[in-house]
Amino acid sequence: MTSTADQLCPPSSEPQPIPTDTDRSHRSSSLVSLADLPRELQRYVGQQPGPTLICLGGLHGNEPAGVHAIQRVLETLDEQAEPFRGEIIGLVGNRQALAVRQRFVDHDLNRAWHPERLARLLKSPGHWEAEDREQQELDDTLQRILDEAPGRVYLLDIHTTSGPGSAFAILDDTLPNRELALDFPVPLVLGLEEELAGTLASYLTAQGVTVLGFEAGQHDDPAAIDLAEAAIWLTLDSCGLLVGDGRLRAAEARQLLAEQTDSSVGIVEVLYRHDIDSQDGFDMEPGFWNFQTVSAGQPLGRNGDGVIRSFQDAMILMPLYQEQGADGFFLVREVRPVWLSISATLRGWHLERILHWLPGVSRDPDRADTFVVDHSLAHWPALRLFHLLGFRRHGKDGRKLVMTRRQDLRT
């Protein structure tokens, strides 16, 4: 990723701090100690049957805002005894990493959710690392919830970022996930799951769970807890768990999210992920924030090979300002909303039956709904068509891409 451009476009302004409500950010909620967390924080069961919402915080140990926000919401529900349909369950992700305030202890828990890997863990329990134990316990809890749920199941996976900037939502682009995400007045990021293998969101989406990832702001910003709490209230309403006066809280949450996130950014797609090798010695240039515009040729970071520059005009996402992590930064660009409507229509036409007619495209003989694409022959219009039809890049083998159709399941 290099450019010979000499004229750089520095950012025109610094990001404005997110305003916070003093009463909310500093209220004396009895937040649980990060050193002694149960896997299940609490659950609240409504008086009427309905969906199940799982709220997960702390999948990365240096991101405690979600844990605190979940506790706030569950405390409020308990205290107010508001009308409610279904059930909300608060879960904690990486308890050992949260106790030491690190992203992970041995390896990234949100890059390990491959079904075959979980199967291998069961065969060799004596060789488990810290995150292996966390993963097995969390998976057991999740599978039990899925088995017991009487209806549709949702997951809100709450994270924060090491750099500043707007909160945003992330999803695997199935139609149910998209329906939930579009109810949020925040920037929406598409295509991230193609760059990050083994996420919990992808693992559960494949099992029919409607999943939304929410990035609530910077790790240690008190406002991140407020935004995460607002995301939970809005999700409760969007999924149909709130009734009566409880919906007023969701209206307040929607307003808070709209006021405190970047309204100039709508829907974006990921163009590039800068992967960090353990030997890179990567350092991000200071001063970047989520959705900041960068120019072709602008220095973004450095490693052992020298300066890393943006290869095109774009926006930067999740610049890395922490020691742990393999994602240096992402480059994204905006997508016109009309393409989502076109995509929803095309997915009902089952055009995958004729995709193998395209130059450089062939069916995978061993996997249904999977195609192998010769990247040198199938140019950008063909890849865009795969995305519109609900396919994701599942892997890359030299000059060939493997495109697998997402499962637009509803439970």
Of the segments 180-189, 191-200, 399-408, which one has the largest average pLDDT value?
180-189
pLDDT at 2 over 60: no
φ/ψ of residue 337, rounded to 5: -55, -25
Structure tokens at 381: 């219009």
Cα–Cα dist 223/162, whole Å: 14
Q: Which domains are present in the chain?
A: 22-260 (3.40.630.10), 351-405 (no CATH)
Confidence class for position 1, pLDDT limits 50, 70, 90: very low
Confidence class for position 297, pLDDT limits 50, 70, 90: very high
The HSE-up count of residue 195 (CA atoms within 13 Å, CB side) is 21
Averaged confidence pLDDT in the chain: 86
Cβ 318 vs Cβ 327: under 8 Å: yes
Convert the pLDDT of each residue in 332-390 to its tens digit: 999 988 777 777 777 777 777 777 778 788 888 877 778 888 866 655 566 777 777 77
Confidence class for position 137, pLDDT limits 50, 70, 90: very high
Convert the pLDDT of each residue in 58-99 to its tens digit: 999 999 999 999 999 999 999 988 789 999 999 999 999 999
Contacts of 61 (CB under 8 A, 6+ apart): 94, 96, 97, 98, 99, 100, 101, 102, 103, 104, 105
Cα distances from 321 to residues 182, 241, 264, 304, 368, in angstroms, run 29, 37, 24, 17, 41
pLDDT at 15 over 70: no
* Residue burial 180-189, b: 16+ Cβ < 10 Å; e: rest: bbeebbbbbb
Q: What is the mean pLDDT of residues 156-162?
A: 98
Burial class of 380 by CB neighbour count within 10 A (0 to 12, 13 to 18, 19+): exposed
Higher pLDDT, 247 or 349: 247
Q: What is the mean pLDDT of residues 295-304?
A: 96
Neighbouring-strand partners of residue 251: none
pLDDT at 404 over 90: no
**pLDDT at 341 (0 to 100):** 77
Convert the pLDDT of each residue in 256-296 to its tens digit: 999 998 778 999 999 999 999 866 789 999 999 999 999 99
Q: Which residue has the tokens 């199940």?
A: 52
Contacts of 398 (CB under 8 A, 6+ apart): none
pLDDT at 327 over 50: yes
**pLDDT at 23 (0 to 100):** 43
**pLDDT at 357 (0 to 100):** 78
Q: What is the mean pLDDT of residues 182-196?
A: 92
Strand 153-161, strand 168-170: pairing: unpaired
Structure tokens at 62: 């240096």
Cβ 318 vs Cβ 332: under 8 Å: no
Confidence class for position 300, pLDDT limits 50, 70, 90: very high
Confidence class for position 203, pLDDT limits 50, 70, 90: very high
Considering the entire predicted model, what is its pTM? Answer: 0.83
Instruction: Write the DSSP assignment of 331-361 as a string of letters.
Output: EEEEE-THHHHHHHHHHTTTGGGGGGGSTTE
Higher pLDDT, 176 or 360: 176
Cα–Cα dist 268/251, whole Å: 25
